[in-house]
Chains A and B, each alone.
Chain A
Amino acid sequence: MMPDYAMPVQGLIGGLMIGLAAAVMLLGLGRIAGVSGLLARMMRISDSGPPLLLAGAFILGLPLGAFLVSQFVGPVVTRFPESSAVLIVGGLIVGFGTRLGSGCTSGHGVCGLSRLSKRSIVATACFMGAGFATVAVMNALGLGW
């Protein structure tokens, strides 16, 4: 049933690391590990959130952690879309949408769902549903990559 290209074990292990990191932010610093909010805070786009230095430290850690895995664990596959238009349009909409919706996969998906937050359950259903629909429409239009 599980397709051979799926990575359930690595997914679970990496997921546990992500959840543990979010737990450290909550129990250590009293903050939500929401990447969109912390990025906006670091860039001085958001007025609320932790001190800029702490937001920046968390954000800086993301590429650092990925780099350490690629150096000391093994190659990390990253198949990005080749079209700059896809990256730019996607990025613009993700940036606007995560601010308007107060969160992304980490803040609503990981931190909110685990808290059974009504707002985050609705937000996650909205972005998952929109994601499924968008990929289906793109594929139907021959815009898949």
Chain B
Amino acid sequence: MIRLFLIALGAGTLFGAGLAVSGMADPTRVRGFLDLGGRWDPTLAFVMAGAILPMAIAWLIQRRLATPLAASQFAVPATGKLDRPLIVGSILFGIGWGIAGLCPGPAIAGLALNPSAALVFVIAMVVGMTVHRSFNRSTA
């Protein structure tokens, strides 16, 4: 379990470092990418390209592996079926992302860089997640 913990911690640390190096820990820069009609900042497109490349290779390797290197099975989501929650939820997420310039990764990484502002956003985000859970339970 210690080994798995260290792998997850290492991956999270590398991910957070990548956010900081890439400029994505800066909500103004992220919002600049979304500001097509203003002072458009293409940096986010380079980050996505850089991130997708190793991950695409990882998916090719994953197909040839029966199990992950340090765990008993792959737990990856299905890719096929489109449904209304996926679309409505993603549109809502995009609206919040545009409002604040923050998505979950940079917001959490920001706890180390701009703690007071990041904490306000992260707490609100957890509340939003909790609201979804109770909403889901009451309709299920």
Contacts and interface: CB of A to CB of B under 8 A. Distances in A.
- In which size bucket is the chain B interface? 35 or more
Contacts of B20: 14, 65-66, 69-70, 73, 76
Interface in B53-108: 53-59, 61-62, 65, 67-82, 85-105, 107-108
Interface in A52-89: 53-55, 57-70, 73, 76-82, 84, 86-89
A70 B72 CA distance: 36
A117 B98 CA distance: 24
Dominant secondary structure of chain A at its interface with chain B: helix
B21 A86 contact: no
Contacts of A78: 25-27, 110, 113-114
B84 to A, nearest CB: 9
A62 B42 contact: no
Interface string B102-140: 111101111111100110111111111111110010000
Contacts of B103: 35, 94, 98, 104-106
Contacts of B35: 135-136, 139, 144
A21 B85 contact: no
A24 B11 contact: yes
Q: Which 5 A-B pairs have the closest CB atoms?
A: A61-B12, A15-B50, A14-B22, A95-B128, A101-B89
13 contacts: A16-B50, A26-B68, A27-B62, A28-B69, A58-B9, A63-B113, A64-B16, A87-B102, A92-B124, A98-B89, A101-B91, A131-B34, A134-B99
